[in-house]
Amino acid sequence: KAGVTQTPRYLIKTRGQQVTLSCSPISGHRSVSWYQQTPGQGLQFLFEYFSETQRNKGNFPGRFSGRQFSNSRSEMNVSTLELGDSALYLCASSLIGGGGAEAFFGQGTRLTVV
């Protein structure tokens, strides 16, 4: 069974640009969540999508957005990039996204903003 696939693995962008990251969940999983990992803040929740609808959103500015397609694949977009957006972006998928449900993480996309 294929795991969660995130593309690209590494990305370098310039301040002010925008970026789109992609996540393909495990087949059959309908919930996709995104997290940002930085050395100072640890893993922080960005948002969760379920059946193409954003169900929950963390405390991030509106520059961070996402969407989910009918095949459950998800993209997140960051506009007007800032140096502080440099981080590892992780996507997690689960069957329905409930409580103690095991979330499977991808390997992440390492974004560097210069």
Partner 1 sequence: DQQVKQNSPSLSVQEGRISILNCDYTNSMFDYFLWYKKYPAEGPTFLISISSIKDKNEDGRFTVFLNKSAKHLSLHIVPSQPGDSAVYFCAASGNSGAGSYQLTFGKGTKLSVIP
Binding of residue 42 to partner 1 (CB under 8 A): yes
How many angstroms separate the Cα of 6 from the Cα of each of 16, 24, 36, 40, 73? 23, 6, 13, 23, 10
Binding of residue 87 to partner 1 (CB under 8 A): no
Binding of residue 55 to partner 1 (CB under 8 A): yes
Binding of residue 58 to partner 1 (CB under 8 A): yes
Q: Which stretch binds partner 1 (CB under 8 A): 13-21, 62-70, 75-83, 103-111?
A: 103-111
The minimum distance between CB 106 and partner 1, in angstroms, equals: 5
Which amino acid appears at position 47 of this protein?
Answer: F
Backbone φ/ψ region at 16: left (φ over 0), alpha (ψ -120 to 50), beta: left
Contact residues toward partner 1 (CB under 8 A) are 4, 33, 35, 42-45, 48, 50, 55-56, 58, 90, 92, 96-108
